[in-house]
Amino acid sequence: MAQLLGLTLLSFFITGILLIPFIDFLYKIKLRRQKQKTKDLFNKSTPIFDKFNNWKVGTPFGGGILIIAVASMLTLWAYGILKISVKPWEVFVILFTFVGFGLLGLLDDAKKLNPGKEFFFFGLRFRHKFILQWVLAFIVAAVLYRQLGYTFIFIRGVGLTSMGFLYIPFAAFVIVSFANAFNIADGLDGLATGLFLISLVAFLAISANQLDNSLGAFIAILMGSVAAFLYFNIYKARIWLGDVGSLSLGATLGVIGLLTGKIIAVAFIGGVFIIEIGSSLIQILSRKFFGKKVFPVAPLHLYLLRKGWDEPKIVMRAWLAGFFFAILGLYIAFIK
């Protein structure tokens, strides 16, 4: 455990040192939010979203690029230099998800540089991005099933339940769900990254308990990098993750949960993310099949903004809820 905590401190220090020049670099290449009218999945304008977010125009995004670069290189260094025992296919699953979903998000971020323009793969439409998410997720799920032998889920009171081949679509669903849940929650300064950091602490405890050093080392390194980023991402944020970061970290959270085998605990540890995507899903299905909205606006954090809550208050209370969800998830994971 001391070695893992050392990796966290090293990652925090390196990312923190690099962030200020990286923010300056993003300003220089003009990778910043542009003033534009946003639209939802039904191609309808979103005046409420624009009302609460237009003041953020000009803030650079793309912080996920630095997190992915630092965490990936430090992880490979830790595996190679520190002689941490690793499972090669587990390393593949972790880094393929981490980098693959990041590249997908980076392609989508390109659209924000030229609002209204689409070219080649840059500026993907939602349906195309969604299809590519499933392609990546099925690749990861197939490796989990075929190379690592994951065919089961652990349910408290029932024990290990084998799913056979159905584990592949189940795992893909978990990965895509968390990728989009994180993306949706990443709407307020520090909200998603703070919740993610809390979740990582819980998963580090689970991986340490399972003596999974390769997974534990990656989590420890990612914790440090995300913590350093969060310092600059809290209200009022100097930098955002962008889709490159939100899709990468969300999908990675799902994969980490799958690798621990504690799927019910995962649902609680990521409870606030599930609430966020759940509120959006209810809204989307209601509008599609019944032609009316359940909530005045979704997801939940945007509804609370409309109700008059200040942004920092929503974020802090979400972190508090995330902390207790994580405690509950750990309780479920460790209870005999």
Q: What is the pTM of this model?
A: 0.90
Instruction: Please report, for residues 117, 118, 124, 125, 128, the alpha-carbon distance to residue 121 in angstroms, rounded to integers and kept in the order given.
Output: 11, 8, 6, 9, 9
Angle at CA 310, nearest 5°, toward 308 and 311? 125
Spatial distance between the Cα atoms of 178 and 160, rounded to a whole number of angstroms: 23
Spatial distance between the Cα atoms of 243 and 248, rounded to a whole number of angstroms: 8
pLDDT classification of 145: cutoffs 50, 70, 90? very high
**Is 335 in a helix, a strand, or coil?**
coil
Residue 38, pLDDT score = 54
Residue 318, pLDDT score = 97
Task: Report the pLDDT averaged over residues 136-159.
Answer: 85
The alpha-helical segments, DSSP class H, found in the chain are: 2-28, 47-53, 63-81, 88-109, 126-146, 167-185, 191-209, 213-233, 242-260, 263-269, 271-290, 300-306, 311-334
**Is 48 in a helix, a strand, or coil?**
helix
Q: In the predicted model, what is the mean pLDDT of the chain?
A: 86
Can you say whether the dihedral through the CA atoms of 300, 305, 307, 313 is positive or negative? positive
Q: Which of 120-134, 168-182, 240-254 has the lowest mean pLDDT?
A: 120-134
The single-letter code of the amino acid at 48 is I
- Check whether 40 has a pLDDT greater than 60: no
- Percent of the chain topping pLDDT 70: 86
Tokens found for residue 29: 């290449």
**Is 39 in a helix, a strand, or coil?**
strand
Cis peptide before 312 (omega within 30 of 0): no
| Comparison of pLDDT for 158 and 173, the residue scoring more | 173
- Check whether 187 has a pLDDT greater than 50: yes
pLDDT digits over 290-313, tens only?
Answer: 778 888 888 999 999 988 899 999
CA atoms within 13 A on the CB side of 67: 34
Instruction: Please report, for residues 176, 291, 293, 295, the alpha-carbon distance to residue 286 in angstroms, rounded to integers and kept in the order given.
Output: 21, 6, 6, 10
